[in-house]
Chain A
Amino acid sequence: MPMEQLLELLQDNARLTTAQLAAMVGETEEAVKAAVAGYEKEGVIKGYHTLVNWEKLGAPMATALIELKVTPQKHTGFDEIAGRVMNFPEVESVYLMSGGYDLAVTVTGKTMQDIAMFVAKRLATIEGVISTATHFVLTKYKDGGVVFNSDYEEIDERGSNLID
């Protein structure tokens, strides 16, 4: 089994121990340690995160997807504006898109009001930004490959079949 399998395993569950990973991919623990260290060094592994469902805590939290139309700059194209946008800690992700707009920006804040103000004051005013459209997230059904809405969570209803 190739070492790339490690990445898939860690992507699903970053808490697996080196020993468990080694058993699954059929390598020694040393080889797994070295491979992971290598991936970290090369920037293939960008970090280890915990997927938190803040809604469940009732913590105030708002997320919005913001469409930005921008004028690409001479020489630097979209890169320079994207760079300015992503410097804000409020910004969670920035993608360059095909289609009706250019940059897709995910922004989180405590309230929708905070986000609206952030867009108006910080994003709309960047030179080269032509227009913004803000879409607030109302509920999260699935994120990072994981189902968040408990109505849709998989239930293990396999049970006591004597003949299986």
Chain B
Amino acid sequence: MDYASLVNQRLRAVKPSGIRRFFDIANEMEDVISLSVGEPDFQTPWHIREEGIASLEKGRTRYTPNRGFIALRREIGNFLTRHYGVEYDAEKEILVTVGGSEAIDLCVRSLINPGDEVIIPEPSFVCYVPITQMAGGVPVIVETRPEDGFRLTAEALEAKITEKTKLLILPFPNNPTGAVMRRPELEAIARVVERHGLLVLSDEIYAELTYGAAPHVSFASLPGMAARTILINGFSKTYSMTGWRLGYAAGPAEIIALMTKLHQFAIMSAPTTSQYAAIEALRNGDEDVADMRTQYDLRRRLIVDGLTRMGLPCFEPEGAFYVFPSIRGTGLSSQAFCEKLIYSKRVAVVPGDAFGASGEGFVRISYSYSIGHITEALERMQAFLEEL
């Protein structure tokens, strides 16, 4: 049968992720030292897992309310207030989702009409463009630059705005660059958002993994911005709970209501066991997060130092768990660099162009690995560069 003509044409036209081909190579090889994955290496803290187990033992195996348990939504509200000084009504302004990814999808589909333009900074997480396209929206890419610390500047944003612009996606702390937005830059963005009447999807999934003295600033905490912002966060990166599939969105009641409508038809409710575990995470997990952040920070310094020593210029990442060094000095493209590296030294890193065309000339290196693993990989990379 000619399925190609029968299936959804919009979906068929979506370009497959550039990371896939590369991972196919990595998977077929043995003894590969990988610095490529985008999930924490820590196991979910035991006290959190125990609450999940206990809920199963008690037979708590049914659906939860569509929006998620109210106890969980209250804890999420408390967490957001405690950490970022933002206030949300747990009844109407918070929705528990299947990971941050579902929240992004729901948000874009709830807001975008065909032809609406969505501004997406790149390099960034690979899902924003396809999700926008599936909703009939038009992705408008705004490139961030190493000389700006891969931050989105108000000028670059302003230059992309047309009368069709509806939504700005703000993915900071950023995967893959590790860039964070500090308050003055966010304030400048907020002025542009206000002036043009935009909505903002602020993907703050890495918020708790921000290093240095200044804590993460939530875009929704800026004056006037809560009414324009859908704040997305989750448990995967913060508490090392990727497999539990749990995230959330917080925002204006009308928008959350629309997202809930879509969520109830598509998903019904987020996993029950995970919700019980998440309540424990929010109540008693601050210390775990602090410990993990300390570990990531040590590795971050180790890897930035190692890359700099071997002559790969490295913008200092201040968030998430990635470094994004430039490999332009080698004269190779990102893809060629990564392929040569894996074939000759069995070290896997991800080509930067997988995160948008502006990622060409860079590679993404994850430090969600043990210190021993990182030092071994650095040694191999150094040898690789010496042989080039």
Residue in B16, B19, B37 whose CB lies within 8 Å of A158: B37
Residue B38 at the chain A interface, CB threshold 8 Å: yes
B-side interface mostly: helix
The reply to whether A162 and B371 contact each other, CB–CB distance below 8 Å, is no
On chain A, the residues within 8 Å of B301 by CB distance are: 23-26
Query: Are the CB atoms of A159 and B27 closer together than 8 Å?
Result: yes
Q: How many A-B pairs with Cβ below 8 Å?
A: 60
7 more CB-based (< 8 A) A-B contacts, given A9-B298, A24-B298, A159-B27: A16-B375, A24-B301, A160-B23, A160-B24, A161-B37, A161-B39, A162-B16
Q: Are A162 and B41 in contact (CB under 8 A)?
A: no
- For chain A, give the interface size range: 20 to 34
Tell me the smallest distance from the CB of B208 to a CB of chain A, in Å: 17
A16 to B126 CA separation, bound complex (whole angstroms): 36
Does A164 have its Cβ within 8 Å of any Cβ on chain B? yes
Query: Interface of A with B (CB < 8 Å)?
Result: 5, 9, 12-13, 16, 19-20, 23-26, 154, 156, 158-164
A23 — which chain B residues lie within 8 A by C-beta?
301-302, 304-306
Which 3 residue pairs across A and B have the least CB separation, nearest first? A164-B38, A23-B305, A160-B23
CB pair A16 B39 closer than 8 Å: no
Interface residues of B in 268-316 (CB under 8 A from A): 298-299, 301-302, 304-306
Bound CA–CA A61/B298 (angstroms) = 37
Could you tell me if B20 and A159 are in contact, using CB atoms closer than 8 angstroms?
no
Q: For the complex, what is the distance from the CA of A21 to the CA of B299, rounded to whole Å?
A: 10
Alpha-carbon separation in the docked complex, A154 to B373 (Å): 14
Q: State A92–B43 Cα separation when bound (angstroms).
A: 32
A23–B306 Cα distance when bound, in Å, is 9
Q: Which residue of B lies closest to A9 (CB)?
A: B298
Within 8 Å of chain A (Cβ to Cβ): is B127?
yes
Distance from A143 Cβ to chain B, minimum over Cβ atoms (Å) = 18
A33 to B24, CA, bound (A): 44
